[in-house]
Amino acid sequence: MADEEKSRVLQWNEMDLDDRILLAISKLGWAEPTMIQEKAIPLALQGKDILSRARTGSGKTAAYAIPVIQKILNSKQLATEQTVKAFVLTPTKELSHQAYKNILDLTANCSKEVKCIDISGQIELDAQRPMLMEQPDVVVGPPSRIFAHLKAGNLKVKESLELLVIDEADLVFSFGYENDVKQILKYLPKIFQSFLMSATLSEDVKSLKKLVLHNPVILKLEEARLPETSQLTQYHIKCEQEDKFVLIYALFKLRLILGKSLIFVNSVDRCYKLKLFLRQFGIGTCVLNSELPGNSRCHIVNQFNDGLYDVLISSDERADQIQQKGSQKNRKKRKKDLESGVSRGIDFQKVSNVINFDFPMDVDSYIHRVGRTARGDCKGTALSFVSLDEMPRLEEIENTLSDSTPEGTSLFKPYNFKMDELEGFRYRAKDAMRMVTTIAIKQARVKEIKAELLTSEKLKSYFEDNPRDLQVLRHDTNCNPIRTQSHMKNVPDYIIPPTLQKLKRPISSTKTGVWKKKSKEQERRPTRGELKYQKRKADPLKSFEFRTEAKRKK
């Protein structure tokens, strides 16, 4: 009986939550709390400081957002004026936007009582000042932005702030925000409640804990670092570096990969190289480029989540830096790149597949990449392309994460694919790769930056004062590095692997190149007589028939 009581999950209606929050939870389709939500929410409502470690996709955002909203609603009952009650600090603009959206969803039925704003955009501080003068209940943004507003006097919270949340706390110091957090604390009251949410309990988190928390409850949940094998299926396929392009082209065109896919590579240049390569075969992709402004990156994530693109290519900045860490020049560049690394935290929705085109550099990177799929109750697949020089990393990850698999089973299942049957695809891939030159990659990146300049709100007033510069930019060299050929979008019968010939065939359409099963009529070959008749019927001179008036009357 005691065991049953222990295993029973605390339900939403047993947490003393406001009916408006419960209605929002119901609309979001959350049947019952996740482990982190079940443990953290009651403790937060009791006023405890919390340090929580839970894996990616476990529901950490709701674990702090729900108690924050509930406590604000409680304080409103006695409040005499509108004041800022909570700060939510996030290490990236994408995460700020994501946290803001989640809070909006949870306050859908009490939006008049609980006001929330996201100040992570790249607009001027003065432009955001009118919003802050309205004293929103919750302010979401990166530490540097919140500190800038506090310093400018746009935010005054010395008497009012009650809650401080730091999301993805293990990234805050590594992204260079240590000084910003220390400065923010000087503007806060002496007593406030704090939540630190993290995927790992690193040394940076322990340092942050000393700064922010007072006698915290530490929630280190006993859960696997990855979802169970019934939810997440992990494959690996061994291939050489040059064969990776052939393989991904074949998998997409043969429709062996279905659903929304997130492809990880190890540098921004590699993103564009893959994008330009796939575009020649009619495979549309979008790139999450860390060099673009935060608003643009959020827009790309939203387009992918809304289904405008089914394939998103993202770079793992951490891998890029590990490879280049010897140079002092690259160390200076680190803050800029890390702030927009996307293998962490972002909620890519309904991702069916994560493809490690370049194998991750370490265990943590692998966990955070694969954590983009199999979220909540959804199932997902992770496929890793592994070259010979990447094999030691595969073995290291498998040894480290072996505890998350049943005894006697391997973490990675081999993806059985006969590479020798892809000669036709290899020929076409080589042809396409000749077009993806260094100049073409550079021009593709310039094209995106140019588009950002033309639509930039910051430069709008500058172009009004300098119309000549705008005209020059618009009539600059057209950056269209690669000319696509329509025939490359199709998959002709002769290059289809023999093992798949009997099952499917490509539709002869330059737009799709999709596959469908053969019907029985298509499988049967016409006889010699039928072919002769069809040929005769197609020739107007042979099929012409003269009829007399008598024959017509009959």
Strands (E), 281-389: 286-288, 311-315, 353-356, 380-386
- The pLDDT value given to residue 380: 93
- The pLDDT value given to residue 550: 56
The predicted-structure confidence for 87-144, as pLDDT tens digits, reads as follows: 999 988 888 999 999 999 999 999 999 999 999 877 789 999 999 999 999 999 999 9
Q: % helix / strand / coil in the chain, to the nearest 5?
A: 50, 10, 40
Q: Which residues contact 90 (CB under 8 A, 6 or more apart)?
A: 96, 99, 120, 140, 141, 142, 167, 168, 345
The predicted-structure confidence for 272-298, as pLDDT tens digits, reads as follows: 999 999 999 999 999 987 777 777 787
Per DSSP, 439 falls in state H
Dist. CA 345–CA 353, nearest whole Å: 17
Return the residue matching tokens 């910051």: 458
- The pLDDT value given to residue 549: 60
Instruction: Classify strands 515-517 and 504-506 as parallel, antiparallel or unpaired.
Output: antiparallel
- The pLDDT value given to residue 488: 85
Phi first, then psi, for residue 264 (nearest 5°) are -105, 130
The predicted-structure confidence for 458-469, as pLDDT tens digits, reads as follows: 788 888 888 888
Helix ranges (H only) for 379-456 are 391-400, 423-435, 438-455
The predicted-structure confidence for 193-211, as pLDDT tens digits, reads as follows: 999 998 777 777 888 889 9
- The pLDDT value given to residue 292: 76
The predicted-structure confidence for 434-449, as pLDDT tens digits, reads as follows: 999 998 898 888 888 8
According to DSSP, the residues that pair with 381 across neighbouring strands are: 233, 353
Q: Which residues contact 361 (CB under 8 A, 6 or more apart)?
A: 266, 316, 318, 319, 322, 323, 393
- The pLDDT value given to residue 510: 36
Per DSSP, 156 falls in state -
- The pLDDT value given to residue 316: 75
- The pLDDT value given to residue 545: 64
Query: Mind listing the pLDDT tens digit of every residue in the chain (554 residues)?
Result: 444 445 567 899 999 999 999 999 999 999 999 889 999 999 999 999 999 987 777 788 999 999 999 999 999 998 889 999 999 999 888 889 999 999 999 999 999 999 999 998 777 899 999 999 999 999 999 999 999 999 999 999 999 999 999 998 888 887 889 899 999 999 999 999 999 998 777 777 888 889 999 899 999 876 677 888 888 999 999 999 989 999 999 999 999 999 999 999 988 999 999 999 999 999 999 998 777 777 778 788 888 988 899 999 998 755 554 455 444 444 444 344 343 344 455 778 889 999 999 999 988 889 888 888 887 778 899 999 999 999 999 999 998 887 766 666 788 999 887 888 888 899 999 999 999 999 889 888 888 888 888 887 778 888 888 888 888 877 765 555 577 777 788 888 888 888 777 665 444 333 334 444 455 555 566 777 777 777 777 776 666 666 656 555 55
